[in-house]
Amino acid sequence: MDITTQKNTATPPPAPQPTEAERKRAARGATRPGDRIFLGLSRGSGILLLAIMAAIAGFLTYRAVLAISKDEGNFLTTFEWNTGTQPPVFGIAVLAYGTVISSIIAMVIAVPISVAIALFLTHYAPRRLSGPIAYVIDLLAAVPSIVYGLWGALILVPQMEGLFGWLDDYFGWTGIFDWQGGPARSMLTVGILLAIMILPIITNVSREVFRQVPQMHEEAALALGATRWEVIRMAVLPFGRSGVISASMLGLGRALGETMAVATVLSPDFLIHASLLDPGGGTFAQNIASKFGEADTFGRDALIASGLVLFVITLLVNGAARMIIARRKEYSGANA
Amino acid sequence: MSTVLTDKRPTTLRGASLPKWSPWVIAAGSVAVAVGIGLGAGLDSRIQWGLIAAILYVLGTYAIASMVEGKRQAKDRIATSLVWVAFLLAVVPLASLVWATVERGVKVLDVYFLTHSMGVVGDREPGGGIYHAIIGTLEQVGLATLIAAPIGVLTAIYLVEYGRGNLARAVTFFVDVMTGIPSIVAGLFILSIMLIFEMQPFGFAGSLALAILMMPVVVRSTEEMLKLVPNELREASLALGVPKWRTILKIVLPTAIGGITTGIMLAIARIAGETAPVLLLVFGNPFINNNPFEGAQASLPLYIYQQYSQSAGAEPAYDRAWAASLTLIAFVMILNLLARGIARWKAPKTGR
Amino acid sequence: MKLQRMNRRALTLGALAVSGALALTACGSDDTGSNGGGDATSTAKAGSIDCGDAKGQLLADGSSAQKNAIDAWVKQFTAQCSGVQINYKGSGSGAGITAFNQGQVAFAGSDSALDSEEIAASKEVCSGGQGIDLPMVGGPIAVSYNVPGVDNLVLDAPTLAKIFDSKIKKWNDEAIKKLNPDAELPDLNIQPFHRSDESGTTDNFTKYLIAATPENWKYEGGKAWQADGGQAASGSSGVAQQVSQTSGAISYMELSYAEGMDVVAIDTGAAEPVKASTDGATKAIADAEVVGTGKDLALEINYKTKAEGAYPITLVTYEIVCDKGNKAETLPATKAFLNYIASEDGQGLLADAGYAPIPDDIIAKVRTTIEGLS
């Protein structure tokens, strides 16, 4: 059914073709004042939000350009962050690496497990169990990140030492899992903590999406003799894909921008360590959080510049997600 | 065996199938073997035992099922077992988090703790409380929600129900940009404005930064939920001659209200746990300040962070940090409960 | 219609929540420390604290090294002047100076004196004046360590430098063995911890290394840590926390944070190795010279002291205020508080808290300067 045309006749798009819109409006009678007010209100909010966001983005870009223009090092490749010195030398290489690698670890762990848990709750768990568990996970998604930070620093870090020792024993030769001993305040711990943090979020949204799968699709598949797994693969996952992706993006957004949990767990420095188990490195948000207090105006501009790079990364990720979702649009209920 | 539809079909058409108790037996077997390996190889980490057991279970299920039931059934079994394993794997850290917070949090959590501020109590001394931080968080988050929730929901409605053309595209683009804003940068933005006007730290400044952080989250989640509302509902309403705005208010929103409230609650939870902007804009304060519009305030996440980071590992400070965490979680949970209550109560019956 | 009724009910609920929150604002109170188990017994004599017409809340930020001293002072001061609240946030010397130069705080605490750029920046906040350093607290920087089975450890400057530069990696290294012939040093990796934030403690500690062993510590020094290797933690408290939790760890921190930990005795070249103590710091500070100009009382410490019992790794932490052009609303409270902490009572409190008082002749100058603040 071609919903688009039908919808357009019911409510013309606000601006693009005024003549056609007017004609249609005339055909339908006068616009209702309620409609106009409501449209104004919602469009007003959109414009307001746009104005705020654009103001921030513009302001931050301006400050960032100021900072980068005075940077004596290469902003992208310098392994240093000295904004107080004359001349200032700073670069984001370490931060970009740390942010990306910790988020990758987090996503690799969290996404499959989250999707599995969401499937578990919607399709596998006994009904009596799934309700309360879904509820608990709902609540866990709401646990503030500082609590994860506290838990990570006081409980996870000591626990990680066992795993680190094991990884070092068996995979130390790869160099990636080489461990020198000492508290496990490294990128891998950060990645795992981030994974634990975003797990409830991704699970939560994915579950919501899986629950929306039209029952007809599932019944149809079952009727054709599909096993439960085949039902999931053929009916549930395709329908839920865009939802799962946007859920993952939500989680990724949180992982990329997570500040305090990283700051409490990581031992920062300005080097890229080959081993994920070596303490050191940093992420954009963590670096901003630990440096902003002592930074002067210029130092803050430099931090803002690094924050801007985080924007760009997030933007690329979001853009990619939107493209994937756009391709699967036919599964969305609304065609808006 | 959750789905009602997976009931037994005539076995004659199914071929051989494993008995119902087989997963349990395989599970018990793999746990036993894992314990054996663990003891034999002298692995001291219980986590490793668990992992070995999990791997054995998955492999064992696949092997047995493919022998008895055939490949498709085996795949189904392996998916089932993987899903179970993933679930159990995730439960461990999350349960540990909850357990640690509750176990260590209840030590100092009492009426005195809830009704007193830190006052002049030193970082490493026992005593003090979180009253000032609770007030700070309630006021800052409340004000931020008052600003962000209406704007966010209305914007999402605009994007889904009306949005065409450049404005909608621009809004979507900037919402995307802002989702990635580190909380601290939002804080820096407000701080720069405050410095221009030579303002001292105050609670509402924190609310503004929190509102900035909250808006894109609300827009994104609301958008997602509105898109899930079937078009048939909208069309039916419009066909009955109901104006579009009433259709949105009476049909679309109520259908999606559960998801929208959940989204807003998640957003609140996210900002309620924000430490960095509060540290920057609200300064922190060991004394009670009821006025969000003047003077430094405290907030719960900031309190937790300070108790953790300034205590030099002193037990009383850690206890206070855990107790404050417990309070913060409880606060978020109560919000969540309220939201779910409202959602369930307002959501139309969907038959699911 | 049904929905409308529900809306109203939701509204009622919201109203209830709001009024509940409002009601809540009335039922709390500040902890006055009376039943907190602190040292409230040693209540200050009323004479030393003159509240004047001070009232309201004083914001201050800076050095975490002096936070414990401030905590002790605030307790006494608030007991006398209930109208004043001192809100000191110990986020580090660098952060304190930045906040001060932005006009966010009434005074800053710092373990390093203002440098020329910072003074230039302070002129924007202090209309007609500039930021000045008032030495208030001396503190030994203890090098604390966590090595099971080793209660007494002697190190000299070159060894310290090599440890913190990750040149010496094991506790049973020859260099350490030579200094501690009797100790049973384990075959354990050394985990040196340094401050991740900009810190006056780092500044003073590295100044000591540079002064005492320039050939082993080739970095230029400053508030930010420069050597590679080791782990970082934030704030005096952060490194203290890590040392107490980590076997093999070593770090530097103001003595009050090293409570309950083993502390290295420094071989200064004097007859006996010196352990960090308030007495030792007092002796070292006695040598200090005023190098600040005008009203600025920045001190320079002789890190190479070999005097018997003098502990060379010592910091002096300052309160930074405007000499002129302090904000009118905070000036009375600032003066009252600074007057108190510079008074004999105020300084007398320090030894118990793990700090060293400032020598008499210098603190006398500080008092005069405080009187003249405007």
The answer to whether the Cβ–Cβ distance between A288 and B318 falls below 8 Å is no
Residue of C nearest to B290 (CA): C25
Q: Which fold has domain A81-335?
A: MetI-like fold (1.10.3720)
What is d(CA A83, CA A72) in angstroms, rounded to the nearest whole number? 10
DSSP state of A122: I
Q: Rounded distance, CA B329 to CA B98, Å?
A: 9
User: Alpha-carbon distance A88 to A81, whole Å?
Assistant: 8
Whether residues B5 and A218 touch (CB distance < 8 A) is answered with yes
Would you call C59 and B201 a contact, using CB atoms and an 8 Å cutoff? yes
C91: chain A residues, CB-CB within 8 Å: 293
Per-residue model confidence as pLDDT tens digits over B183-238: 877 888 888 888 788 788 888 999 999 999 899 889 988 988 898 888 888 899 98
Please check whether residue B83 lies inside any domain of the structure. Answer: yes
User: What are the chain B neighbours of C28 within 8 Å (beta carbons)?
Assistant: 115-117, 129, 131-132, 135, 288
User: What is the secondary structure of C180-218 as a DSSP string?
Assistant: -TTS---S-B-EEEEESS--HHHHHHHHHHHHH-TTT--
Which element (helix H / strand E) includes A16? none
Polymer length of chain C:
374
**Which chain A residues contact residue C233 at CB under 8 A?**
267
Q: What is the pLDDT of residues B15-24, one digit of tens each?
A: 667 777 777 8
CB-based contact C196 A180, cutoff 8 Å: no
User: Which tokens sit at C188?
Assistant: 């354990």
Interface test with B, best of C7, C25, C31 (most B CBs within 10 A): C31
Tell me the one-letter amino acid at C347. Answer: Q
Residues 192-231 of B with CB under 8 A from A: 192, 212, 215-217, 219-221, 224, 226-231
Rounded to an integer, what distance in angstroms lies between the CA atom of residue C354 and that of residue C349?
9
Contact B273 A229 (CB under 8 A): no
- CA distance linking residue C328 with residue C28, whole number of Å: 30
Is a pLDDT exceeding 70 seen at residue C51? yes
Distance CA(A114)–CA(A109), nearest Å, equals: 9
**Averaged pLDDT for residues A152-171:** 84
Q: What is the pLDDT of residue B14?
A: 56
Identify which of A235, A217, A254 has the alpha carbon closest to the alpha carbon of residue A119. A235
Domain limit, last residue, from B87, B105, B123: B105
pLDDT at A17 over 60: no
Å between A282 CA and nearest CA of chain B: 14
* pLDDT, average across residues A16-23: 51
Q: Which two tokens stand for residue C57?
A: 């809340």
Distance of CA B43 to the CA centre of its chain: 35
**Quick one: B142 and B86 in the same domain?**
no
Total number of domains in chain B: 2
A271, C189: Cβ pair inside 8 Å?
Answer: no
Residue C11 pLDDT grade (very low, low, confident, very high; cuts 50, 70, 90): low
Bridge partner residues of C265 (DSSP): C154, C275
Q: d(Cα B198, Cα C274) in Å, to the nearest integer?
A: 48
- CA-based nearest residue in chain B for residue C14: B338
* Nearest one of B30, A302, B121 to C68, comparing CA atoms: B121
**How many angstroms separate the CA atoms of C361 and B192, rounded?**
42
Q: Is C95 on the interface with A (CB under 8 A)?
A: yes
Greatest C-alpha distance within chain B: 82
Q: Which two tokens stand for residue B128?
A: 């003090």
Q: Do B85 and B151 fall within a single domain?
A: no
Q: What is the DSSP string of A160-177?
A: HHHHHHHHHHHHGGGSTT
Give the confidence band of C23 by pLDDT, cuts at 50, 70, 90: low
Question: Among the ranges A165-169, B193-197, C3-7, C252-256, which has the highest mean pLDDT value?
Answer: C252-256
Amino acid in position A309: V
Chain C closest-CA separation from residue A185 CA (Å): 8
Residue B116 has pLDDT above 60, yes or no: yes
**Chains interfacing with A (3 or more CB pairs < 8 Å):** B, C
C28 vs A154, residue with greater confidence:
A154
Higher pLDDT, A110 or C272: A110
Whether B341 is in a domain gets the answer yes
- Read off the amino acid at residue C62: G
* Across B75-89, C46-60, C257-271, least confident range: C46-60
Asked if residue B7 belongs to a domain, the reply is yes
Q: What is the 3-state secondary structure (H, E, C) of chain B?
A: CCCCCCCCCCHHHCCCCCCCCHHHHHHHHHHHHHHHHHHHHCCCCHHHHHHHHHHHHHHHHHHHHHHHCCHHHHHHHHHHHHHHHHHHHHHHHHHHHHHHHHHHHCCCCCHHHHHECCCCCCCCCCCCCCHHHHHHHHHHHHHHHHHHHHHHHHHHHHHHHHCCHHHHHHHHHHHHHHHCCCHHHHHHHHHHHHHHCCCCCCHHHHHHHHHHHHHHHHHHHHHHHHHCCCHHHHHHHHHCCCCHHHHHHHHHHHHHHHHHHHHHHHHHHHHHCCCHHHHHHCECCCCCCCCCCCCCECCHHHHHHHHHHCCCCCHHHHHHHHHHHHHHHHHHHHHHHHHHHHHHHHCCCCCC
Distance CA(B132)–CA(A42), nearest Å, equals 37
Question: Judging by beta carbons within 10 Å of its beta carbon (0-12, 13-18, 19+), is residue C31 exposed, middle or buried?
Answer: buried
Q: For residue B343, what is the domain's CATH number?
A: 1.10.3720.10
Mean pLDDT of B138-149: 93
pLDDT at B162 over 90: no
C196, C245, C248: residue with CB nearest A290: C196
C283: tokens are 């002796």
CB contact under 8 A, A290 and C246: no
Testing the interface with B: which of C22, C27, C30 to mutate, by most B Cβ within 10 A? C30
Q: Report the alpha-carbon distance of residue C94 to residue C115 in Å, rounded.
A: 11
The answer to whether the Cβ–Cβ distance between A182 and C233 falls below 8 Å is no
Residue C253 three-state SS: strand
Q: Cβ distance C295 to C372 under 8 Å?
A: yes
Q: Tokens 């052009």 — which residue?
A: C325
Q: Which of A13, A44, A144 sits opposite B272 (nearest CB)?
A: A144
Q: Is C354 exposed, middle or buried (0-12, 13-18, 19+ CB in 10 A)?
A: buried
For residue B44, being part of any structural domain is answered with yes
Question: 3-state DSSP call for residue A83?
Answer: coil
Q: Which residue(s) pair with C85 in the sheet?
A: C57
Calculate how close chain B gets to C361, using CA atoms only, in Å.
30
- Contact between C66 and C91 (Cβ < 8 Å): no
Average confidence (pLDDT) over C45-64: 75
> What residues of chain B lie within 8 A of the CB of C142, using their CB?
none
User: What residue segments make up the domains of chain A, in order of their start?
Assistant: 24-69, 81-335
Q: Closest partner residue to B127 among C37, C68, C236, by Cβ? A: C37
CA distances from C241 to B346, C94, C258 (A): 50, 21, 10
Nearest chain B residue to A138 by CA: give it.
Answer: B336
Which chain C residue shows the shortest CA-CA distance from A271? Answer: C228
For residue B120, tell me if it sits in a domain: no
Tell me whether residues C25 and B290 touch, CB distance under 8 A: yes
SS3 A42: helix
Q: Give contacts of A 242-271 with B, CB under 8 A.
A: 243, 246, 249-250, 253-254, 256-257, 259-260, 264
Q: In a mutagenesis test of the A interface, which of C231, C237, C242, C246 is the best target, namely the one with the most A β-carbons within 10 Å? A: C231
- As a whole number, mean pLDDT of residues B20-40 equals 80
Helix (H, G, I), strand (E, B) or coil at A186: strand
Q: B73 and B141: one domain?
A: no
pLDDT score of A10: 45
Which chain B residue's Cα is nearest to C72? B122
Instruction: Establish how many alpha carbons lie within 13 A of residue B324's alpha carbon, considering only the half-sphere containing its beta carbon.
Output: 36
Which chain B residues are Cβ-neighbours of C3 within 8 angstroms? 250, 254, 346
Q: Are residue B84 and residue B183 in the same domain, yes or no?
A: no
Q: Model-level pTM?
A: 0.84
The token pair at A64 is 């960032």
The DSSP element (H or E) to which C353 belongs, if any, is none
Query: ∠C340-C341-C343 over CA atoms, to 5°?
Result: 65
For A64-105, what is each residue's pLDDT tens digit?
888 888 888 788 888 888 877 777 888 888 889 999 999 999
Mean pLDDT across C20-41:
57
In order of their start, the domains of chain C are 2-137+321-371 (3.40.190.10), 141-282 (3.40.190.10)
Q: Are A200 and A113 in contact (CB under 8 A)?
A: no
Which B positions 101-160 lie with beta carbon below 8 A of chain A? 101, 150-152, 154-155, 157-160
A294 contacts C95? CB cut-off 8 A? yes
The C-alpha angle with vertex B267 and arms to B262 and B270, in degrees rounded to 5, equals 125
Which residues 108-147 of chain C have a CB within 8 Å of chain A? 121
Q: Are residues B203 and B294 in the same domain?
A: yes
Spatial CA neighbour of C66 closest among C89, C40, C83: C89
Tokens of B240: 């009955």
Q: Which of C335, C340, C341, C343 is nearest to C374 (CA)?
A: C335
Chain A stretch 274-333, residues whose beta carbon is closer than 8 A to a beta carbon of chain C: 279-280, 290, 293-296
Task: Choose the final residue of a domain: B105, B139, B166.
Answer: B105
Within 233-262 of C, beta carbons closer than 8 Å to A belong to 233-234, 242, 245-246, 248-249
Q: Classify residue B112: in a domain, yes or no.
A: no
CB contact under 8 A, C92 and A294: yes
Query: φ, ψ for residue C92 (rounded to 5)?
Result: 110, 150
Shortest CA gap C166–chain A (Å): 12
> CA of A6: how far to CAs of A36, B239, B260, C195, C362, in Å?
20, 10, 27, 65, 87
Q: Give the model's pLDDT for residue C328.
A: 83
- Give the mutation candidate from B224, B250, B274, B307 for the A interface (greatest A CB count, under 10 A): B224
ipTM associated with this complex: 0.82
Same domain, B12 and B145: no
DSSP per-residue codes, C24-86? HTTS-B---STTTTSSTTSPPPGGG---TT--EEEEEEE-STTHHHHHHHHHHHHHH-TTEEE
Across the interface, whether the CB atoms of A59 and B189 are under 8 A apart is answered: yes
Percentage of chain C modeled with pLDDT above 70: 88
How do residues C150-168 score in pLDDT, each as one tens digit? Answer: 888 888 888 989 899 888 8
Choose from A293-297, C20-24, C142-146, C279-283 the range with maximum mean pLDDT. Answer: C142-146
CA distance C320 to C190: 37
Query: Cα torsion for B288, B290, B296, B297, to the nearest 10°?
Result: 70
Nearest to C231 among A84, A183, A263 (CB): A183
Q: Is C192 on the interface with A (CB under 8 A)?
A: no
How is A242-272 classified by DSSP, letter by letter? HHHHHHHHHHHHHHHH--HHHHHH----SS-
The closest CB to that of B312, out of C71, C87, C257, belongs to: C257
| Minimal-distance CA residue of chain B relative to C26 | B290
Contact C261, C237 (CB under 8 A): no
- Domain ranges, residue B48: 2-105
Query: Is residue C10 scored above 90 in pLDDT?
Result: no
